[in-house]
């Protein structure tokens, strides 16, 4: 009230001054001050806050002080959370780089070591393949016939001869199970298979096991082949054939006993770096090291296929059952084509059932192949007629896979995802290349 009265008085004075000076602007200014249209004081004049304004300022100051105290208390945990998240981000980035490098190497390896045409042509997935390699005259065909239990009158009998009968890869199916195959392959250094790039040319890395046969001393070519197989992790077995011939010759010419002949051959092989050779007569399945060879080959195939290492028992017409550990701790007492077939059949079952990696199951995955397509259908190419609605995922995207299917015909492991809904390829079963990698439970992001 006092301020209003003061304004009126000041306005009246200015207005009166305007009347006496006959100044219209002064009169208007006086009226504006009187009616409150201008500030009560010049902008540059000191302003004394009112009690109400002082109270509001104190309240704001107290609130700011409390917030500062709270922020200081929370700061360590905020920094700890930020540090953890930064470490998690760094770890995931490192993991992604490692996966990208792994897939790059797998892709390069698949290009540098493609599956040979002869193997892809007859079908590869869900089969067991045993390679029998060696130069002419070492008894490859004879060994294949003996293991398969076929005679010369059988239409699937492998030709036997002292000359090189193997010019092209020859496949021999196991009687009663076409998915088990033994392959007669020319030895390294033969005219059609030069030593350089032999493993790549023949595709030995795609075989379950490789039997390297020799009837005399091992050459440098064979020693180099064994070293290369070991470097790639390909299971291999060194087989020295025609032991019976050596025993007969040494006994007749030098009067040496069979044991002396065997020890002489073993010593020579070990000098050349062959630590665990198998000495056999290819005609006699139950003689010398042949039973041990069959046992070890079957065990190796079983282990590589994720089966028990126990040798399966043979029950005609039934699914093979595993023998007790006691029954499998010793070499085969009486090897037979039936028992060998039974063991290989179990491995084939594993090959058919375990097409995908053991860890391919529903769960969280990270995309490792950029711009991967999400298809509405399980089958590959089913969405090619219309690209409408097709979505793509970038590298590093984390997805939830709710269903995994082994799509054998297309050599793919496919996964159905929730968001965006559809199907993606997880792995190429022919070469191991992956489009997405499963996150272990400890790697899955914590819920926010």
CATH architecture of 117-305: 3-Layer(aba) Sandwich (3.40)
The dihedral of CA 191, 192, 197, 198: what is its sign? negative
pLDDT for the residue 218: 77
Cα 104 to Cα 400: distance, rounded to the nearest angstrom: 24
- Edge to edge, the sheet with strand 398-407 lists 422-428, 412-417, 398-407, 363-367, 436-438
- The count of other CB atoms within 10 Å of the CB of residue 189 is 17
The Cβ-side half-sphere exposure at 314, using a 13 Å CA radius, reads 13
Q: Which of the 8 DSSP states describes residue 441?
A: G
Q: Supply the pTM of this predicted model.
A: 0.54
Closest C-alpha among 379, 394, 237 to residue 300: 237
Instruction: Give the Å distances, CA to CA, from 380 to 100, 113, 233, 374, 437.
Output: 24, 25, 32, 11, 20
Q: How many CB atoms lie within 10 A of CB 219?
A: 15
By three-state DSSP, how is residue 170 classified?
Answer: strand
Q: What single-letter DSSP state applies at residue 408?
A: G
Task: Determine the Cα–Cα distance for residues 134 and 166; give it in Å rounded to an integer.
Answer: 10
CA distance 184 to 211: 10
| pLDDT tens over the chain, length 448 residues | 545 545 544 445 444 444 444 456 666 666 665 555 555 566 666 666 778 877 888 888 888 888 888 878 878 877 788 888 888 888 888 888 887 787 777 677 666 677 888 888 888 877 889 999 888 788 888 899 888 888 888 888 888 764 555 568 899 988 877 888 899 988 776 656 666 677 777 888 889 999 999 888 777 888 888 888 888 888 999 999 988 888 888 888 888 898 998 899 888 888 888 888 999 988 888 888 888 898 888 888 878 776 544 444 333 333 233 222 222 223 333 455 556 656 655 555 554 444 444 467 888 888 888 888 898 888 776 545 455 567 889 888 888 899 888 877 677 889 999 889 999 999 887 777 888 888 764 344 444 4
Q: Classify the C-alpha dihedral 10-15-21-25 as positive or negative.
A: positive
Q: How far apart are CA 403 and CA 393, in angstroms?
A: 18
Structure-token match 């995922």, residue found: 393
Kindly state the helix (H) or strand (E) to which residue 370 belongs, with its residue range.
none
Angle 436-439-379 from CA coordinates, rounded to 5°: 35
Domain boundaries 360-380+387-438, corresponding CATH code: 2.30.30
Of residues 305, 318, 317, the one with CA closest to residue 344: 305
- Cα separation, 340 vs 307, in Å, equals 16
Helix residue ranges per DSSP H, 217-336: 220-232, 243-254, 258-271, 290-304, 325-328
pLDDT digits (tens, 9 = 90+) for 329-347: 233 334 555 566 566 555 5
Q: Retrieve residue 428's tokens.
A: 């190429």
Q: Domain residue spans in the chain?
A: 117-305, 360-380+387-438
């Amino acid at each position: 009230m006092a301020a209003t009265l003061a304004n009126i008085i000041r306005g009246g004075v200015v207005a009166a001054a305007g009347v006496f000076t006959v100044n219209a602007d002064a009169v208007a200014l006086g009226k504006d001050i009187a009616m409150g249209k201008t500030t009560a004081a010049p902008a540059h004049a000191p302003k004394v806050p009112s009690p109400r304004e002082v109270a509001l300022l104190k309240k704001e100051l107290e609130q700011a002080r409390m917030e500062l105290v709270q922020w200081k208390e929370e700061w360590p945990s905020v920094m700890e959370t930020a540090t953890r998240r930064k470490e998690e981000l760094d770890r995931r980035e490192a993991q992604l780089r490692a996966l990208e490098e792994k897939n790059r190497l797998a892709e390069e390896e698949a290009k540098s070591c493609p599956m040979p045409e002869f193997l892809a042509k007859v079908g590869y997935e869900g089969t067991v393949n045993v390679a029998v390699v060696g130069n002419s005259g070492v008894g490859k065909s004879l060994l294949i016939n003996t293991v398969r239990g076929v005679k010369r009158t059988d239409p699937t009998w492998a030709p036997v001869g002292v000359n090189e009968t193997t010019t092209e890869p020859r496949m021999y199916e196991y009687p009663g199970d076409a998915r088990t195959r033994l392959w007669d392959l020319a030895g390294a250094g033969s005219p059609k298979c030069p030593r350089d790039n032999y493993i790549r040319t023949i595709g030995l890395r795609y075989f379950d096991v490789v039997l390297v046969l020799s009837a005399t001393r091992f050459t440098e070519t064979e020693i180099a082949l064994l070293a290369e197989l070991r470097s790639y992790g390909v299971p291999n077995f060194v087989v020295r054939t025609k032991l019976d011939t050596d025993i007969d010759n040494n006994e007749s010419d030098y009067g040496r006993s069979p044991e002396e002949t065997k020890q002489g051959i073993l010593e020579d092989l070990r000098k050349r770096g062959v630590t665990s050779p198998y000495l056999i007569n290819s005609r006699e399945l139950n003689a010398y090291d042949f039973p041990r060879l069959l046992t070890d080959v079957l065990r190796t195939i079983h282990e590589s296929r994720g089966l028990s290492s126990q040798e399966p028992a043979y029950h005609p017409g039934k699914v093979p059952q595993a023998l007790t550990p006691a029954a499998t701790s010793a070499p085969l007492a009486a090897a037979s084509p039936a028992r060998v077939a039974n063991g290989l059949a179990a491995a084939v079952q594993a090959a058919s059932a375990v097409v995908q990696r053991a860890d391919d199951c529903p769960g969280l995955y990270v995309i490792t192949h950029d711009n991967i397509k999400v298809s509405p259908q399980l089958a590959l190419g089913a969405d090619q007629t219309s690209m409408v609605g097709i979505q793509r995922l970038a590298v590093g995207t984390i997805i939830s896979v709710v269903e995994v299917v082994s799509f054998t015909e297309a050599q793919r492991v496919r996964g159905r995802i929730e968001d965006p809904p559809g199907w993606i390829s997880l792995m190429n079963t022919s070469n191991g290349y992956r489009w997405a990698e499963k996150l272990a439970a400890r790697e899955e992001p914590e819920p926010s």
